[in-house]
Amino acid sequence: MNEKILKMYFEDKMKQIEIAKELNISKYKVSRVVTKDFRYKLEKEKRKEINKKKHNAQTMQYIAKKRKQRKDGDIAYAQLRQMHIQASRELSGGRKTINNRAFRKWNSSIYNYNKNTNKFIDIDDLINRDKDILNKLSIYSREYFSNNDMFNDKVVFDMMIDGTKSIKDNYKYFNITSDGLIIYFNRYQIAPYYYGDYSITIPYNYLDLSIWNILFIW
């Protein structure tokens, strides 16, 4: 048994724990055999030097990998920023803007409309019901979008922060449902134009409101 242990350690270059597992014996027994051999000290120093070189090589590979990732990230950031600039130019290319009333008539399906009174519920009605509602909408929206990997990009994250500020223009498009208040964000409001439209459903209990509180505005 001792000869087999010595062969596996000094010739096959196996670790003590590997030998113990292979022979189904304790690591203590393996250690006791190999440390008594006259070759042990020299072998230990050799293995130490090999491990040191291996560690240095792995460290250099890790550093090189991180540098490449950072470089690729900088390139991707520059490309994304250029795409944002291009999208901004296309959006601001002399187009006429549509006023809120015309937009609501054109896309009334996302609004809450009472045919009997011909009245829309708008963001001002919600503010009259709760003076702090814009802050609540802002906090919930930012927490929600921050959990989306798409907003890990700094440029997109900054757009999201700006597009979810607690101001009326950011939350003027919404719908009342049984599940909660659905907020609609326009393209280029919280992300680049080519990312499309976004909407989130905010539960009424988060807003300290019920659907009846809101509908009572009518």
Domains identified in the chain, total number: 2
**Rounded Cα–Cα distance for residues 2 and 208 (Å):** 76
Judge whether 80 lies within some domain.
no
206 shares its domain with 103? yes
The pLDDT of residue 138: 92
Q: pTM for this one?
A: 0.47
CATH number at residue 111: 3.90.640
8 shares its domain with 116? no
Largest CA distance in the chain: 101
57 shares its domain with 150? no
Amino acid letter, 110: I
117 shares its domain with 17? no
Judge whether 170 lies within some domain.
yes
Choose between 174 and 108: higher pLDDT: 174
Q: Residues 207, 130: contact at Cβ < 8 Å?
A: yes
Amino acid letter, 102: A
Band the pLDDT of 213: cuts 50, 70, 90.
Answer: low
Q: Give the percent of the chain with pLDDT over 90.
A: 13
59 shares its domain with 135? no
Judge whether 86 lies within some domain.
no
107 shares its domain with 209? yes
Q: Which residue range(s) make up the domain with 105?
A: 99-215
210 shares its domain with 150? yes
36 shares its domain with 131? no
201 shares its domain with 164? yes
Closest among 194, 174, 192 to 182, alpha carbons compared: 174
Q: Residues 184, 197: contact at Cβ < 8 Å?
A: yes
Q: What sign for the dihedral angle of Cα 62, 67, 68, 73? A: positive
61 shares its domain with 158? no
Band the pLDDT of 178: cuts 50, 70, 90.
Answer: confident
**Rounded Cα–Cα distance for residues 152 and 138 (Å):** 18
133 shares its domain with 202? yes
CB contact set of 46 (below 8 Å; sequence gap of 6+): none
110 shares its domain with 204? yes
